[in-house]
Amino acid sequence: MAKRFKKHFQLEEARALLPHLRRAFGHIHAARDQLLACEEQLAKTQAETGADLGGPAVNGLMRAMITIHEALNDITSRGIQVKDIDRGLVDFPHIRKGREVFLCWELEEDDIEFWHDLDTGYPGRERL
């Protein structure tokens, strides 16, 4: 049977990455907030002045976008799938009882306690 993923995580290996993922999503969420603040400032300036935009707000916007891109790239380059940035929801490809499935975790959870089939997604989560 052909596998969809090259990398498959053991449960302990995925668990060891949780502190890193918590930090990464902290950076992503802070950068997202900065991005939204910069967008709001740019929209306000544009509406008030009609002028071309640049300067600190645009620089902040670009820095926030780069931070988000780099953090997401760091996560996905490890073979982890990001499903929802706001919730910090990720899936780790895993082999369970000979089948390819996902270990499923989100930021508010203390540990990886769920898995689901590749095609069922979050609603199909089952306890390990």
The reported pLDDT for the residue numbered 31 is 96
CA distances (Å), origin 81, targets 14, 24, 32, 88, 127: 12, 14, 19, 11, 19
CA-closest candidate to residue 85, choices 104, 74, 72, 66: 72
The reported pLDDT for the residue numbered 60 is 85
The pTM for the full model equals: 0.87
**CA gap 83, 38 in Å, rounded:** 25
The pLDDT profile of the chain, 128 residues, written as one tens digit per residue, is 688 999 999 999 999 999 999 999 999 999 999 999 888 888 887 777 766 666 777 888 899 999 999 999 999 999 999 999 999 999 999 999 999 999 999 999 999 999 999 999 899 999 99
CA distances (Å), origin 78, targets 11, 65, 70, 91: 15, 20, 13, 12
The reported pLDDT for the residue numbered 39 is 83
Torsion of the alpha carbons at 115, 120, 123 and 124, rounded to the nearest 10: -50
